[in-house]
Amino acid sequence: MKCIFNGEIVDASQVALPINDLAVLRGYGIFDFFRLSDGVPLFVDDHLKRFYNSAQVARLPISISQTELKSLIFDLILENQMPLSGIRMVLTGGTGAGAYAIGIPNLIVTQESIKFPSEEMYQQGVKLITHEYLRDIPEVKTINYMTGIWLQQKIDDAGAFDVIYHHKGLVHELTRSNVFVVNADHQIITPKDHVLLGVTRGHLLKALANQFEVIEKELPIEHLRIAKEIFITGTTKKVLPISQIDDVAYEIGEVTQKAQALFKDIEQQYIGSH
């Protein structure tokens, strides 16, 4: 398997990070992730833009341009020949400036196998649990997933699929997904602030707005209890219905089903045009 390391395509088995990289010492770094479908890198420009924006906010310089990295990624895809897979771009905190200062970052791009929720999950929905937490710099896709991973045992014990984060009475996001709530008036509400603006979320919002009233605003946690439908979005989740959060059950209704159909069309159109 090949990967990209600091601007060059090399054997993944030959790559190693320095032990004094800030990603190793302090967990400081950013990443982004997109998938290939039928060999087509879905929404690659959106993900590259977010990756470079995250790097800027995190004060991490990238040694090559966005155009150069895109070209290298296409070369990597040709090398590895994995038409259904994920591409992970990581930029570390770097080395050379000490244990508490940003150094010279290492840029790593890997290609990996992916899996999706089961067909049963897409039809019948999944269960979530809640947890009070707000990610550090939530608008940035950082490599800090300690809370989500630490909660995995609790998620498994509850027979749940994932955890939804809330903070000071407001719902924000899941560990790796955005959330949409459908109320009794068929309005679709999704949190606007202190969330990672997902690429799937963005494309779906535009499509939904043509057929529904879609509102980006604060989402009080008590609104989860009175919601009619809830679904989540993400790169490998696509549009996934929620059947239960803690002890509250939801229907898999027409809005969720329409959202699933819309995103399927978005993906197929993108593949067809690229």
pTM: 0.96
Tens-place pLDDT, residues 70-92: 999 999 999 999 999 999 999 99
Q: What's the confidence (pLDDT) of residue 143?
A: 98
Domains of the chain as residue ranges with CATH? 2-112 (3.30.470.10), 119-273 (3.20.10.10)
Provide the pLDDT for residue 107.
Answer: 98
List the chain residues with pLDDT less than 50. Answer: none
At 25 the pLDDT is 97
The pLDDT value recorded for residue 95 is 95
Residue whose C-alpha is closest to residue 132's, from 154, 117, 113? 154
Question: Are the C-beta atoms of residues 202 and 264 closer than 8 Å to each other?
Answer: no
> What distances in angstroms separate CA 52 from CA 5, 144, 186, 213, one per listed residue?
17, 17, 36, 32
Which of 17, 20, 16, 14 shows the shortest CA–CA distance to 1? 14
* In contact, 212 and 235? CB cutoff 8 Å: no
pLDDT of the residue at 169: 98
Q: Are 267 and 42 in contact (CB under 8 A)?
A: yes
